[in-house]
Amino acid sequence: MENAGREDDGRTPDTGTGAPIIEIVDLEKRFRSKNTDVYALRGVNLTIGRGDIFGIIGKSGAGKSTLVRCINMLERPTGGSVLFEGRDMCRLNRAELGRARRSMGMIFQQFNLLMQRTAEENVRFPLELAGVEKNTARARAGELLEMVGLTNRAKSYPSQLSGGQKQRVAIARALATNPTVLLCDEATSALDPATTDSILALIRDINRTLGITAVIITHEMSVIEKICSHVAIISKGRIAETGAVEEVFFHPRTEEARLLVIPEPLQQMPHDRMYRLIFNGRSSFEPIIGGMVLECGSPVNIMFADTRDIGGTAYGQMVLQLPEDEAVRARILAFAQSRGLMLEEMKDV
């Protein structure tokens, strides 16, 4: 399914919490291979609001890393525009592009630290390239290492740091030039779950305290759910769906979105009489399933459950197999509707 966005012309609405800081218009990245053209990106349109934590998710080879590298011109697009704070990055001269890039910090999956430099020296490196005076750069590096919780590792080399500590140094380095945007390309993919959570919490704190817009590139829906306010799903170099994370999670409109929010084991199962129960703000302490079984007089099979309790409110989903009896199924569906629950039949995807 190609270019199945939410609007008829394929353009995505401004989903940001503030005025747009990045606008991508009809973006194309084409590679020539022998006698043919291969498109990594084609017809990509996105708007990222200032102050957002915006996720871009897709499978390996979908084009997400190429997209983020086109945003800061590490990859030159072959068509379309990337507007950053109203200026087309594709049309800037070398000096203007250098200044714009300093406003875009970037962190990578493999950290990309200089192994012969200490943590402090790694953080100072972009400041040295920008011609910042040495003492000023050293003071700035100290502030940033304190921000990421690594003051006591300033003199450590990357080989002496854990994966999470390396990524914290990389984040501090990305912040050295006071960027307005932080681009995160699979920044947690090489980390264990606990370390991933701590890095995501750090990015969220940076977003809140410094007002920096974050763009999160990932293949993991759990990362999107934990930190992002908005998400774009990319598939085969095109944007399949975009919107608020809650909207895409509760109401996926495309096959690509459904494949991300529906657990993989369930995708392989026959979907006969399978219904997805969506929790979207009801109290997590209300016995929904128990009430359904008692009122409708028939048990249901819980095939899958994925819920989160945030401040006493449940967010998530259950997949239920309803009884064969059509009359009982009708009563269960009527019960769900009367309680304002979203109970939707699963289709084969």
Going by pLDDT thresholds of 50, 70 and 90, the confidence category of residue 348 is low
Q: Are residues 247 and 280 in the same domain?
A: no
- How are beta strands 36-49 and 104-108 bridged, if at all? unpaired
The confidence band for 326, taking pLDDT boundaries of 50, 70 and 90, is confident
**pLDDT tens digits along 152-199:** 999 999 999 999 999 999 999 999 999 999 999 998 888 888 999 999
Answer yes or no: is 142 within a domain. yes
Q: Are both 56 and 36 inside the same structural domain?
A: yes
Classify residue 275: in a domain, yes or no: yes
Which CATH number covers residue 183?
3.40.50.300
pLDDT at position 162 is: 93
Q: Are 323 and 221 within one domain?
A: no
Provide the sign of the torsion angle of the four alpha carbons 186, 187, 193, 199, taken in this order: negative
* Residue 336 φ then ψ, to 5°: -60, -45
pLDDT tens-place string over residues 118-162 = 999 999 999 998 889 999 999 999 999 999 999 999 999 999 999
CA-nearest of 247, 224, 242, 255 to 11 is 242
Distance separating alpha carbons of residues 153 and 196, to the nearest angstrom: 20
Average pLDDT, stretch 253-270? 74
Q: Which one has a higher pLDDT value, 147 or 226? A: 147
* Residue whose tokens read 């759990």: 222
Give Cβ neighbours of residue 269 (< 8 Å, ≥ 6 apart).
Answer: 303
Last residue of a domain, one of 206, 238, 256: 256
**pLDDT tens digits, one per residue of 16-65:** 456 899 999 999 999 887 788 889 999 999 999 999 999 999 988 889 99
pTM of the full predicted structure?
0.81
Which of 256, 279, 299 terminates a domain? The answer is: 256
| Number of domains, the chain | 2
102 in the same domain as 237: yes
| CA distance linking residue 305 with residue 233, whole number of Å | 23
Q: What's the mean per-residue pLDDT of the chain?
A: 84
- Residue 300 lies in domain: 262-345
What pLDDT score does 308 carry?
61
Residues 117 and 131 in one domain: yes
- Characterize the bridge pairing of strands 313-321 and 301-310: antiparallel
Of 225, 140, 216, residue with least CA distance to 181: 216
Look up the CATH number of the domain holding residue 266. Answer: 3.30.70.260
Q: Residue 105 — very low, low, confident or very high, per pLDDT cuts 50/70/90?
A: very high
Q: Do 155 and 119 touch, CB atoms closer than 8 A?
A: yes
Q: Which of 213, 236, 256 is the last residue of a domain?
A: 256
Percentage of the chain surpassing pLDDT 70? 86
Give the long-range contacts of residues 297-306, CB within 8 A, separation 24 or more.
297/328, 297/331, 298/323, 298/325, 298/328, 298/331, 298/332, 299/323, 300/332, 303/266, 303/269, 303/274, 304/263, 304/265, 304/266, 306/263
Query: Would you say 49 and 15 are in contact if contact means Cβ atoms under 8 Å apart?
Result: yes
One domain, residues 129 and 222: yes
In a domain, 272, yes or no: yes
What pLDDT shows up at residue 239? 94
Is residue 252 domain-shared with residue 266, that is, in the same domain? no
DSSP class of residue 54 equals E
Are residue 236 and residue 295 in the same domain, yes or no? Answer: no
Instruction: Judge if 152 and 176 occupy the same domain.
Output: yes
Q: 8 in a domain, yes or no?
A: no
